[in-house]
Structures are given as structure tokens and as C-alpha cells.
Chain A
Amino acid sequence: MSKKNLEYLINRKDNQYEVVIGLEVHAQVLSESKLFSDSATKFGADPNTQVSLVDAAFPGMLPVINEFCVKQAIKTGIGLNAKINKRSVFDRKNYFYADLPQGYQISQFKDPIVGEGKVILDMPDGQKEVGIERLHLEQDAGKSIHDLDPQNTFVDLNRSGVALMEIVSKPDLRSPDEVSAYIKKLRSIMRYLGTCDGNMQEGSLRADVNVSVRAKGSKEFGTRCEIKNVNSIKFMQMAIEYEANRQVDLIEEGKSIDQETRLFDTKKNETRSMRSKEDAHDYRYFPDPDLLPLEVSDEFVKELKNNIPEMPDDKKKRFIDEFKLSPYEATILVSDIDTAKYFEEVVFKMGKNKDMKLAVNWITGELFAVLNNKNLEISQSPVSAKNLAILVNLIKNGTISGKIAKTVFELMLDGDKDPQKIVEEKGLKQQSDPKAIEALIDKIINDNREKAIEYKQGKEKLFGFFVGQAMKASGGKANPQLINEILKKKLQ
């Protein structure tokens, strides 16, 4: 792999710096009820309407763990090619905050449910492996709202107690692009598994970003800063860019970097120290005496393993082997589970005599453009996989030309219409009768005798003119291949 030219480095007068990044991703577990209580997890409910006595930490209330959340974490661990720990322990992380009703967060500190694993990133210059340090289960906190009242803070506990998976990477990432690819890959894996919806706008995926810099070639890690709770890939990239440069500037000025927690200000595009909280940073972890160690059997894990769906890396390999797609095409199609599902349905509906390349081009070309324009997910696509398959088949078997297909596609957008019907109703069927086309061409040559002579004398670019005329005369429906063949013959 030649990586040199794509390396992300920060350049100063005499020095080059490498950026070292590790991520702590918080992914909300997809589940009906919370990690330790039986209230709902739905997004966007009225404040404090999804709060149980346990979530609000009433006296004498006790946590009882949700089996499904445990399974979700283990499944995610399997998806990350990680070691599943058969015994894990829940600890209390003690600190005071208005939206932390218990005065502690139940998390896993020493013995997480999932140990070391890895994910593979597809970068423009090849594949890159990123190590996973661990994955553990923990409770989310509630929400403090500071802008409803000038004197007071309002607290909504709907999110309090929702299950989160904290996925900690090794410090293996080296650029904002790799961070982007890593987050996308994690999201893809979890969406394949159905363990997290990956929705960053709703906060179901957010990350703390650890950034340090070091002189290029150095093996030692620099002092790192943690940028808390960044909730979009773009912001992560901006925060890293800013933070790395800030650290390099300090080094260049001969100053030292404080290990600290920082905040990314999205308006000013800068990171800021959160020093005021520093003095309270002694979480006094200890095993939660309200819970016992979580033990899972080999059978429990095996059962989950057996039900893991085909994961993006495997799917990609299959698409390349079975459908003869290029690695590039396959990567695009598998990156999101819904895209992969759509593509596979198109493949299935195309039947035996299918044109895979054509299908891929239509999905990644026309369809993606429309989705992009309308800001839709593929799961909300105005054109169903079935109808797209029909359209591709119509092109493949010569019923319509690629050009006409674009017109048909436009018409399909309104109510997912059957392309076959559109072609029939609008009379868009391709003119493929050689005799009719011959007659049409004869007439055009007759009407443009001089140009025909010029062509025969060597002005070859006039061929396009005749094709255009023939197309025009047929109302765009003539089979372009036939036009070509017949024209060539007639103009000899």
C-alpha cells in the first residue's frame, strides 16, 4: 500500500506532525425499554413522560437488567470481531449533575461485556484496520435545558436510563477522513445488526474524540485532549482539525499541552477547555451492589452468533464474487444496509437475464441523485426496487433506449408507477423494426443529398448529424444501434 501521498500531516516551518486520534463512540441500543427499567425509549416524547420510578431514582428503587440490551451489546461485539466476555461487572460512576438522578451512572469499568476487536476501513489508498479496545453497556443521562428560563435549568429525564454502548477504539486513527470512515463503518455494522439506528441528529450516535499530535516518525504518544460529545461527523472533523493545530502551535511555541477535557464550540469552530469541571473528576468507581456480575453462557453467545446477518465486509466480497461488481461499486452498495437490501431486491426482481452493471449504474446514478435532491433515505425511495428492476430490464431487452429510460424514470417518481405501463401509455417503445428505420433513413439521405456526398468524400463527423436527424424523425424512439448499423450501410 502506498500511503505516503495521502498522509494527513500538519506542516510548520521546519516540522511535520502526525495526528493520533482515538474515539469513544456512544451508540444508543435499539430496544423498546431502558437498560435497567421498563419505561419506553422512543425519541421525541413529551418531557418526563417516559420516566419510571427507577429512572428518577426514587428511594428504594432498584435496577433490573434488560436481556435484549445484553444481546444487542454482544451482537455488536460479534460484528466488531471482538472477544465476548462471559463475565462482566456493572460499576457505579459517581458524580453529581442535575440530569443524573441517581448521583451515579451505572456503567462497566473494569470488566466490560466486550473486549478487543477490530474493524476494517476502505480508504482511497487501500484498507486500514482500526483496533477496538472494548465495548461496554451503560446508562444514558437525562437532558438539562438551560434556555427555557433565565434563572433556572429544566430537567427532562426521558433519556435517563436508556441503554448505551460505549465503543472505545484504540488510538489507531490518523486523519479526519479516517475518523469519518470509521464512524460510517461502525454505523453500518450496527445498522446491519439492528443494534443501533445510527441516527446522529437524534443523538443515538455521538462521540468523545481523543486527539494528540506527535512529530512525524515519532513512536511516542503526545499528551491527549478529549473533546466531549460531538454529534456529527462534520463537527468531529472540524474539531480534530482545530485541536490538532492548537496542539501543534503550543509545541511550536515551546509550551506544554495539558491533558484535559475540551468542548467543541460549533459556532466559533474551536475547542474550549472545560476546566471548571476538572476538580470533580474523581468518579469513585465501584461494583454496583444492587446488581450481580453478568454471566452469559457459551450457548447464549453461540445462539446469537448463529443469527448474525451477513455483515458488510462479507456482503462486499459476495457482491464482487457473485455479481462481478468492482470493489468500488460493492463498497458503495454495502455501506448502508438499506442500500444493500434495495440492490439485492433489484437483482432478484430482474430475474434470469439481468444486466448487473446497468442496475448498479441506475442505483448509484439516477436513483442516488433523486434521493439526494429530495433528501430522502433509500428506505423512503419514491421508486421501488421492483419497478427499478423492470426499468433496467426494459433497457436491457431493447424495449426502450437509455435516453427514453430517463424520461420514463422521471415519470415513475410520481407514485412509483410501473415503467412498463408508462412505456405503453406514452408510446415510448423503441422503434426496432429495421425496415421502418431503413425507410426513415432513406428519406433523410434523400433530403440531405449534399451532406451525404460530403460524408462520402471524407467528412466523417457528419455521421452524427445523420444519427441526430434519424432520432429526431423517430421521436427519439428508434433503436440507436439499428440507426447506426443502417446508416453505415446506406452511406457507404
Chain B
Amino acid sequence: MSDITKQSLTELVKNIKDKKLSSTEVAKAFIDRSEKSKELNAYITEDFTSALDKAKKFDQKPNLDLKLPGIPMAVKDLFCTKDVKTTAGSKILNNFVPTYESTVTDNIWREGAILLGKLNCDEFAMGSSNETSFFGNVQNPIDKDLVPGGSSGGSASAVAGQLTPITIGTDTGGSIRQPASFTGTVGLKPTYGSCSRYGIVAFASSLDQAGPMSQNVKDCALLQEVISSYDPKDSTSIDFKRNQYSKELTNNIKGKKIGIPKEYRVDGMPKEIEDLWQKGIEYVKDCGAETIDISLPHTSYALPAYYIVAPAEASSNLARYDGVKYGFRAKGENLIDMYEKTRSEGFGTEVQRRIMIGTYVLSSGYYDAYYLKAQKVRKLIKNDFDEAYKKVDAILTPSTPSSAFKIGEKTNDPVSMYLNDIFTVPVNLAGLPGISIPAGYDSKGYPLGLQIIGKAFDEQSILNIAFAMEEKINFRNKITDWWIK
């Protein structure tokens, strides 16, 4: 069977179950392509030898009842993987080998999947272009020297470039949806509490969620079904009835009410984004859904609030990287000197910047003005959504205010970089599920995404809407394999 790597996850699973393909064949195909794709710099750690061993083992005694039978898969390097180096894209964890497995990846391996390797990402998931990684930029398969978005840049690049059939990322302010949008792939950020945070290197605990990144909506639904679970090891994990998302997936969205929030029409938004959104509205109407104009009045306050909450939590979450127990340690004359040098040399610029912001907003005298204020604004943003969901089932917005930009284009202007997440951040602040699907191209032929935001725990509805739209949009990613010589 030729072109294994062009197959979707659903096709691969079917072919393995039908014994038309072996796990070894599939693993080999993705490994071969990954080997030829070093220029993308999507991997931080390759685990190919071990992956092949596991594939062979699977083929000797295949369990075809599993949901991901013998499927090779690379994952974002923010998930701790037992005995496989986990760096979070940082020098400070450059040599860290966990002795434990994250719940999300554990769920994946239990369903028969096999680890290919660990994918590049912004350092501690802080970034929107994958340029903050200690392990270098990631190339977007769409075009040379184009960022893949971030922080799950390696994941997006690997899925778009077909180095892995599917992957998982994490999303704190848009880190799954924005790179999905930049690479013409599908990315779902589940409801907060849907996927366990156990074993995921933390960035901002009250916002972080793991989620699938895939080539199509059906694959996305299947992986979401696998990774979402109630986990007693995570106090914020929520015990709700989880759907069989892929089985219950339907393109029948007749009568669904889709909200169109006027506040997402921001100043200076390129016309092609505006046009894409209009097209999206036409698509959902074509599918038999109804669109309703709604208001989310506090939208413009989401990003400033996010840049208080996320750095505050991060400044505390990253205090454990102190050179004492694991990871990088710089030489110091005494304990404090060691701390200061380790953290100054071990963290990159953006991470240090956010730790500083976070430390400042929590420091004595400023807590009420910043952190408390931001938490109140967060409440207002959540109230906006609660109000909207009295009238609609889901909300349709653009995923990003622009298409992918060039490497280096925004590195010197943190605020313009942060503005990338303007449409995705409110979703994290309110803890809602959101999916980005590829919906068109800009004038340069770069992909653009649309975002569907759902009610809490109603991943099924947004997957269904995405599934129905996907059919109408019939998006084809324009990948030329430019990086393969």
C-alpha cells in the first residue's frame, strides 16, 4: 500500500484492523518520512528504534479491539513519558527523563498506540510561533521560513507534514487552535477538566488543557474519546459522562443555533479573515443551522486578563525548576547564587519575561490591582458566555486574526505576538471547549482557520458542527514537501 503517511488516522486504524497494514509498516512509513523531514525540526527527541520494536511486538500479538491498534504517534514534549526524555522545550529540562507517564499519554498507549517521539514546542508552552524553544524554530510545512504557530508548533508541523498520523498538544491560551489554524489542521481544546493534567509540565494550571491535533474532524473525535478521562490524580479533573465522540459524530446539525459575536470583528482585522468568517456563516447555514448575532461584551479584556493570570500561575509553577532535584544546574558559590544562575541560564527570554510579569502582579501591594482584578474580569468573560449560551448552542469565530507569519517577524515585539491569541484566549479563561478547523486560504495561499466554541462538556456538538462544515468546506492542504530533497 503506497502513501501510508497520506492516510488519515481513521483509515490507518481501519487498514490495521482489516489486516491490510501492519503496525510495523505504518511505523516504518512515518519514521522514514520523519527521517527525511529533519529540516522541519518538528522533533526534539526521536524514539524510532523503540517505536519499531513496539510495532513488531504489536504485530506478533495484535489486539485489534483497541481504538488505536499499533498506531505510531509523536506527542508534544510537554507530556511526561516514562523513560523518554521530556524537556518542555527548555534547557532547564534538557536532560530530564521522567520515571512516570502522563495520564493522557497513558490513555493513548493503553489503546494500542506507539510513541514515535517528542515534538518541539515553545519553551514551557509560552509562545505563539514555536520560536521560544531551546531546540530551535520549527518550520511550517506550508512554506519555508513560516512559523507553524505555537506553542504546539512541532505538533502542528508534524501533523500537517504527515510525520505522525495524529498528535496531542496542550492549549493554555490558544496553543492548539492557533497552530492548527496556521498549518491547515484540526485542533481541539477540550473543556477544562476533561483531560487530566497529571504528568503534563504545567504552564498555567487553571487554563492548561491537553487536546488532539489531526488532519480531520473524525480523527480528532476519536483521539478525544481516548484521551478524555476522569483522573483522581488531578483535583481539577471532572467526573462527567463522556461521549463516544467518534461513534456519536454526525453531520446533522439542522436546527442548531450558532452565535456570531460582534466583538470578534476587531480593528485592523484583515479583510480575508472577515471574508472567511462570512463564508463560515454561509457554510453552517447550508448545513441547516441557524446563525444568531450575539454579544460577548468583555471580549477585548480577555487578553489583558490572560496576561496577568497565566504569567502569575506560571511564575509559581516554574519555581520548582531550581537546579536542586532534576534538570540543569549552573555552578553557584552558594545556594542562592546557584538558583539565580540556574534560572537565568536555564530559562529563555520569553519564559523569564513571563516569570517577571507573574512575580510582579502577585507581589505585595499589586495583588488586588492586577491578579484579583484579572480574576474578576475572568468572571465577567465567563458570564458573557453563560449569557450567550442561553440563546445559542455554539459560537463561530475566526481562529486567529491573521495567517501564519514569517520566522523572526514578531520576536522583538511581545505584545504583537500576544495578539495572536486574541480569539482563542477567552475560551481558556471561561474553560470552554473550542475547535479550530481549516476553512480557507489567504492571498498567499496560507491556511486560515475558523473556531467553534461550545458549551462546557459539550465537545460533541462542536465536533458535529465542525464535521458538517468540513464536508462543505472540503479543504485541501497545499503541501509541496518543499523540505524533502
Contact residues in A for B367 (Cβ distance below 8 Å): 284-286
List A contacts of B185 (CB < 8 A).
none
A282 at the interface (CB under 8 A from B): yes
Asked whether A94 and B197 contact (CB < 8 A) given A62-B234, A64-B233, A155-B324, the answer is: no
A 20-55 to B, binary, CB cutoff 8 A, 1 in contact else 0: 000000000000000000000000000000000100
Q: List 9 A-B contacts (CB under 8 A).
A: A58-B326, A60-B102, A60-B199, A60-B202, A64-B234, A101-B324, A101-B325, A286-B367, A290-B202
In this complex, the member of A60, A62, A96 whose beta carbon has the largest number of chain B beta carbons within 10 angstroms is A60
Report if A291 contacts B (CB, 8 A). yes
Contact A282 B205 (CB under 8 A): no
Give the residue name and chain of the B residue nearest to A38 (CB).
B233
Which of the segments B35-43, B315-323, B382-390, B460-468 contacts the partner chain?
Answer: B315-323
**Known interface pairs A64-B235, A289-B313. Does A59 touch B201 (Cβ–Cβ under 8 Å)?**
yes
Complex Cα–Cα for A53 and B99 (A): 9
A37 to chain B, nearest CB (A): 10
Chain B hits for A291, CB < 8 A:
235-236
B201 touches A60 (CB 8 A): yes
A94 and B316 CA atoms in complex are apart in Å by 7
Query: Binary interface profile of A, 99-116, with partner B (CB < 8 Å = 1, else 0)?
Result: 001111000000000000
Residues A98 and B335 in contact, CB atoms below 8 Å apart: yes
CA of A393 to CA of B353, assembled, Å: 80
User: A6 within 8 Å of B by Cβ?
Assistant: no
CA of A291 to CA of B322, assembled, Å? 23
Indicate whether B137 reaches chain A with its CB closer than 8 angstroms: no
In the complex, whether A370 has a CB less than 8 A from a CB of chain B is no
Contacts of B326 in A (CB 8 A): 58-59
SS class, residues of chain B in contact with chain A: loop
Closest to A276 in B: B336
In the complex, which range does the number of interface residues on chain A fall in? 20 to 34
Set B197, B204, B315: member contacting A62, Cβ < 8 A: B197
* Residues in B neighbouring A286, C-beta threshold 8 A: 312, 316, 362, 367, 371
Residues of chain A with a CB closer than 8 A to B79's CB: 60
Partner of B319, one of A53, A94, A288, A292: A94
Q: How many residues of B contact A (CB 8 A)?
A: 44
Q: Are B232 and A64 in contact (CB under 8 A)?
A: yes
* A63-B235 contact, Cβ under 8 Å, with A58-B100, A286-B362: yes
What residue in chain A is nearest B237 (Cβ atoms)? A62
Tell yes or no: A15 within 8 A of B by CB.
Answer: no
Q: Return the chain B residue nearest A59 by Cβ.
A: B201
Per-position binary interface string of chain A over residues 291-311, scored 1 when its CB falls under 8 Å from any chain B CB and 0 otherwise: 110000000000000000000
- The answer to whether residues A59 and B96 also contact, given A104-B316, A282-B363, A284-B362 and a CB cut-off of 8 A, is yes
In this complex, what residue of A is CB-closest to B202?
Answer: A60
Chain A contacts of B312 at CB under 8 A?
286
A206 within 8 A of B: no
Q: Return the CB mask of B439-474 against A: 1 if under 8 Å, else 0.
A: 000000000000000000000000000000000000
| Minimum CB–CB distance for B328 against chain A, Å | 13
User: A57, B320: Cβ atoms under 8 Å?
Assistant: yes
The 8 A CB mask of A174-214 against B (1 = contact, 0 = none) is 00000000000000000000000000000000000000000
Contact B201 A290 (CB under 8 A): no
CB distance from B463 to the nearest CB of A (A): 27
| Cross-chain contact A56 with B325 (CB below 8 angstroms) | yes
Q: Indicate if B364 sits at the interface (CB-CB under 8 A).
A: yes
Determine whether the beta carbon of B205 is less than 8 Å from that of A290: yes
Q: Knowing that A59-B320, A94-B315 are A-B contacts, what are 9 other residue pairs whose CB atoms are under 8 Å apart, sorted by A's residue number? A: A57-B325, A59-B93, A59-B326, A60-B202, A62-B234, A63-B235, A101-B320, A288-B205, A292-B236
Instruction: Chain B residues near A155: list those with CB within 8 A.
Output: 324
Tell yes or no: A16 within 8 A of B by CB.
no
Chain A nearest CB, measured from B375 CB (Å):
9
A101 to chain B, nearest CB (A): 6
> Does B198 reach chain A (CB closer than 8 Å)?
yes
Give residues of chain A (54-75) contacting chain B, Cβ–Cβ below 8 Å: 56-65
Distance of A294 Cα from B260 Cα, bound (Å): 38
- Chain A nearest CB: distance from B239 CB in Å? 13
Greatest chain B CB density within 10 A among A59, A98, A104, A282 is at A59
Report if A60-B200 is in contact (Cβ < 8 Å); known contacts: A96-B339, A98-B324, A286-B362.
yes
Q: How far is the CA of A121 from the CA of B228 in the complex (A)?
A: 55
A102 in contact with B201 given A59-B88, A291-B235 (CB within 8 Å): no
Residues of the A chain whose Cβ atoms lie less than 8 Å from the Cβ of B351: none
A153 touches B335 (CB 8 A): yes
C-alpha gap A319/B37 in the complex (Å): 85
- Nearest-Cβ distance from residue B330 to partner chain A, whole angstroms: 15
Q: How far is the CA of A62 from the CA of B202 in the complex (A)?
A: 10
CA distance A102 to B233 in the complex (A): 17
B206 CB–A CB distance under 8 Å? yes
Question: Does A59 lie within 8 Å of B319, measured CB to CB?
Answer: no
Q: Which A residues from 358 to 410 make CB contacts under 8 A with B?
A: none
Known contacts being A59-B93, A60-B201, is A292 close to B235, with CB within 8 Å? yes
Smallest beta-carbon distance B339→chain A, Å: 6
Complex CA–CA separation, A92 to B325 (angstroms): 20
Residue of A nearest to B336 (CB): A96
- A286 vs B86: C-alpha distance in the bound complex, in angstroms? 28
A176 to B256, CA, bound (A): 74
A44 to B325, CA, bound (A): 22
A201 nearest CB across to chain B (Å): 28
